């Protein structure tokens, strides 16, 4: 029977040590930063904002750049490699118009249900009235 020890490394032991060193390297050389929910960015005089808190990981003591390009925030490292990309929401008049469209749509759905409920109530009332008429007629 063979036991994995530091003196007699096998592939399994080496793999475990490699993972430990990789994690140590990652924790000691990288950090996670965040951008708060509601942070605004401007692109061609149009403002955009983050819908939620955004997280990205980058090398320690390295510079990152944030670039907004039509509804998208790209975070790049010093070499220009994109390390994170997130969608943004437009801020302004168009956003309010979209919200109002959704409100109108929601109210029309409620209106559809309301008319169905009224129709059902009318049928029930007519049914009860018909039953009462039959009973009265038999007496």
What is the per-residue pLDDT across 72-126, written as a single tens digit (0 to 9) for each? 889 888 888 888 888 888 887 654 444 444 444 444 555 566 777 788 888 999 9
Please, which pLDDT band fits residue 31 given cuts at 50, 70 and 90? confident
Q: pLDDT > 90: what percent of the chain? A: 4
Q: pLDDT > 70: what percent of the chain? A: 70
CA distance 94 to 139: 68
* pTM assigned to the model: 0.51
Q: What is the 3-state secondary structure (H, E, C) of the chain?
A: CCCCECCECCHHHHHHHHHHHHHHHHHHHEEEEEECCCCEEEECCEEEECCCCEEEEEECCCCCEEEECCCEEEEECCCCCEEEEEECEEECHHHHHHHHHHHHHHHHHHHHHHHHHHHHHHHHHHHHHHHHHHHHHHC
């Amino acid at each position: 029977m063979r036991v994995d020890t530091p003196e007699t490394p096998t592939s399994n032991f080496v793999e475990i040590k490699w993972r430990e060193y990789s994690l140590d390297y990652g924790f000691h050389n990288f950090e996670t930063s965040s951008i708060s929910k509601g942070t605004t960015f401007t692109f061609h005089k149009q403002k955009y904002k983050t819908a939620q808190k955004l997280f990205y990981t980058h090398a320690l003591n390295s510079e990152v750049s944030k670039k907004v390009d039509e509804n998208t925030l790209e975070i790049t490292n010093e070499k220009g490699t994109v390390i994170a990309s997130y969608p943004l929401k437009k801020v302004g008049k168009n956003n309010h118009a979209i919200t109002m469209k959704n409100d109108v749509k929601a109210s029309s759905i409620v209106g559809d249900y309301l008319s169905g409920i009224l129709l059902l109530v009318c049928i029930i009332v007519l049914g009860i009235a018909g039953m009462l008429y039959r009973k009265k007629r038999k007496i």
